[in-house]
């Protein structure tokens, strides 16, 4: 079932992002609004659009989330490969997406401090080089 759902969700997510999907949704809403006077603005008339939009929204959440999860996994695999391929990159960053929120915050803070230290060192070197000129 999983491969079928993945294929289905990819197609639906791609189609839902097209301008034609917006035009179709707008046409359905206009048809519903035009039907209002003929339905006497009844509660059933209102219930039709409320039910339809709720069901479509509910189902689209799962379809789009599946597509987003696969996109995020693919992006992570690409980033992991770049880390692995670049000689001076640290391979221990591969898989950090599995860390807890607190661990990620700590890692981010450590990297920020390291970047600040490197920037300070770079400025010192630049000043020394400027004196030699």
Structure tokens given for 90: 């640290």
Nearest Cα neighbor of 93 from 5, 9, 81 is 81
Do 93 and 103 fall within a single domain? no
Report the half-sphere exposure of 85 (CA within 13 A, side-chain side). Answer: 6
pLDDT digits (tens, 9 = 90+) for 37-76: 999 999 999 999 999 999 999 999 999 999 999 999 999 9
pLDDT digits (tens, 9 = 90+) for 6-46: 889 889 989 999 999 999 999 999 999 999 999 999 999 99
Tell me the pLDDT band of 122, cut-offs 50, 70 and 90. Answer: confident
Do 42 and 66 fall within a single domain? yes
Do 7 and 53 fall within a single domain? yes
Tell me the pLDDT band of 133, cut-offs 50, 70 and 90. Answer: low
So what's the pLDDT on residue 80? Answer: 92
pTM of the model: 0.64
Do 69 and 79 fall within a single domain? yes
Total of domains in the chain: 2
Do 87 and 111 fall within a single domain? no
Residue 10: which H helix or E strand, with range? helix 2-16
pLDDT digits (tens, 9 = 90+) for 77-108: 999 999 999 988 888 889 988 999 999 999 98
């Amino acid at each position: 079932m999983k491969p079928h759902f993945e294929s289905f969700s990819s197609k639906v997510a791609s189609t839902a992002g097209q301008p034609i999907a917006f035009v179709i949704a707008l046409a359905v809403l206009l048809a519903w609004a035009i039907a209002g006077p003929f339905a006497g603005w009844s509660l059933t008339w209102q219930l039709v659009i409320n039910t339809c939009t709720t069901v479509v929204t509910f189902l689209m959440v799962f379809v789009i989330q599946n597509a987003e999860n696969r996109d995020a996994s693919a992006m992570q695999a690409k980033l992991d490969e770049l880390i692995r391929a670049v000689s001076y990159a640290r391979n221990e960053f591969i898989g950090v997406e599995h860390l807890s929120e607190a661990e990620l915050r700590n890692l981010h803070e450590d990297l920020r401090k390291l970047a600040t230290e490197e920037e300070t060192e770079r400025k010192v070197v630049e000043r020394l080089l400027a004196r030699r000129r």
